Amino acid sequence: MNTMFDLSGKWALVTGGRGLAIGMAEGLAKAGANVILMSRSTPEAEAFPFVQADLSSRDSLKKGFDEVLSITGGRLDILVNCAGIQRRHEIEEFPIEDWDEVIEVNLTACFELCQLAGNVMLKQGKGKIINIASMISFFGGMRIPAYAASKGGIAQLTKSLAVGWAGKGIQVNAIAPGYMATDMNTALIEDPVRNASILSRIPAGRWGTKEDMAGPCVFLASEASDYVSGAILPVDGAYLVC
């Protein structure tokens, strides 16, 4: 059974350099994968090779991806699209510039990386792509129309790619984290009213952590999930079904 989750010798690219990205990178590494991080700034974990790329720039993204392939010798077995940004404004005042930036980083860059990685994986005859969706892929959120649109798009993009590539050896799935204790949620965690409200809705009784993402990521990256494609897997302490 353990061999089903063995990633020894696999090359994995994880976008993002903090929080959940590090949790998943550490999980993949413990399963044996060679992990490369792609981030705009220096990651908070120094244990992994790091390629700098600004996902809001298509030229920078492509240059970064090419650099990854130069490290791996042209191979890529696992792609985890975790990098993302958030902007909050009242909807009637939401700046179009912020909308464009969120959609570019959270959705368009994800598609571009899926396409770039997919072309490598198609030549190999196999590969695993894991996108990071959100609880906001399932319902709306206050003051975050661009983020909600991007994460709804991630869910549908994942399903579309799965349909196109499932018969070609590439499984495409998404993880939808619940309320996680990351920098993006610091304001919510520090707000006693919002924190109490959120915790009251989580049957597990706690916020999620980056470590909670490791197991699901390894499963979706391994041969244990070879017949799983197009799934949006909630990792939320049962929040979604409460």
C-alpha atoms less than 13 angstroms from C-alpha of 23 in its C-beta half-sphere: 19
Q: Using alpha carbons only, give the angle 86, 13, 141 rounded to the nearest 5 degrees.
A: 20
Integer CA distances (angstroms), 55 to 50, 51, 124, 232, in order: 14, 12, 25, 23
Determine if residue 74 is left, alpha or beta; phi over 0 gives left, psi from -120 to 50 gives alpha, anything else beta.
left
| Secondary-structure percent of the chain, ordered helix, strand, coil, rounded to 5 | 50, 15, 35
Q: Is 147 a catalytic residue?
A: yes
Selecting among 147, 179, 227, 239, the annotated active-site residue is 147
Query: Are the CB atoms for 15 and 204 separated by under 8 Å?
Result: no
Cβ neighbours, 10 Å, residue 137: 22
Task: Tokens 């499932």: give the residue.
Answer: 166
SS3 229: coil
Catalytic residue set: 147
